[in-house]
Homo-oligomer: A and B are copies of this chain.
């Protein structure tokens, strides 16, 4: 399903997902089309709303083919309800990937519906037990890939090892790191600490083809420190760690605003330091980190934040394009093939993961 480096390819776009859709979507595609003049988008949604927007955004118009979808999956819909609706923009965008019309799909809509529909329609890669949600967080030493961010609230050893394989490929293909380092998130970096399942995961990774890149256990503060390039964790812990870190960054951001409004001299100070402070703000801007990716599916599936703006959505489209161009899923197949040599991984994978769909998916 992945296009070759030079071959043209199409991304299917859910035109109606997200708080400010479809306006935000079309403006985001306009930005993406400016960055990637060869980009082709299959834009799925309400024609009557999409066409007037495309009339206003020239670059988006040049890159898009519109496909009408009469329905929308709202955020309050449960995945099981979403499954029964065939004419939704999200569903029809995913159908286009399954039919081979598009190499991937980008949606800012209902996370649980996107994962459930993608699993059923696009299906998981052969050999993958559970898809995971991967995302990027800022650190002192550059971007850090973290997965799972909430697709599976409970995981077993096999799932975590697969997450490690997929996270390593993500860091190579999307971040462009030649040999990314990996860590398993735990409550202590010493070998004997934490849950038995995590120790088994670490043991398997030490025997695997990525052993040289495996750093061992990392702790919560290692995410911000950038101790490793890829942080492997279950979806419950990953979701809470991601949101706790985001909350802490927001807290300092809000406090800084107060600091620079607190007196006349600090207002002057803000003006003097503004170029550097703006760089800091941009660097920590959530829209730069927008877009979780469902990895382990038989096609590229990118989930944009529902509350994102056009820049954030354009970034999510960038991530999807990177994954197609760099043959993300082919690289995962290679990694899995090398990992399957480990007999222990099958034995370890006895207890099945509890997918979030069974208990309500984590919102990202």
Contacts and interface: CB of A to CB of B under 8 A. Distances in A.
Contact of A219 (B138, B240, B268): B240
A242 interface: yes
Main SS at interface, chain A = helix
B241 A259 contact: no
B265 A242 contact: no
A207 interface: no
Contacts of A81: none
A260 interface: yes
Q: How many copies of this chain does the complex contain?
A: 2
A239 B260 contact: no
Interface string A204-237: 0000000000000001111111000000010111
B247 A220 contact: yes
Given A219-B243, A276-B259, A363-B188, A250 B270 contact: no
Nearest to A241: B244
A245 B272 contact: no
A194 B360 CA distance: 6
Interface in A7-34: none
A266 interface: yes
Interface string A141-161: 000000000100110000000
Contacts of A140: 251, 254-255
A256 B244 contact: no
Nearest to A227: B247
Contacts of A195: 153-154, 236, 359
A254 B76 CA distance: 40
A224 B243 CA distance: 9
A48 interface: no
A356 B196 CA distance: 11
Interface residues of A, number: 70
A195 B155 CA distance: 12
Contacts of A255: 140, 280, 283-284
A189 to B, nearest CB: 9
Contacts of A359: 192-196
A185 interface: yes
Contact of A247 (B223, B233, B254): B223
A248 interface: yes
Given A139-B251, A195-B359, A242 B266 contact: no
A262 interface: yes
A224 B248 contact: yes
Contacts of A268: 269, 272
Of A248, A280, A284, which is in contact with the most chain B CB atoms at under 10 Å from its CB?
A248
23 contacts: A140-B251, A154-B195, A187-B235, A187-B239, A187-B362, A187-B363, A188-B363, A194-B360, A220-B240, A220-B246, A220-B247, A221-B243, A221-B244, A223-B248, A224-B247, A240-B241, A248-B249, A249-B251, A252-B280, A255-B280, A262-B276, A265-B272, A269-B269
Given A219-B243, A220-B244, 11 more contacts: A192-B359, A194-B360, A196-B359, A221-B243, A221-B247, A223-B247, A237-B240, A241-B241, A244-B244, A259-B273, A270-B273
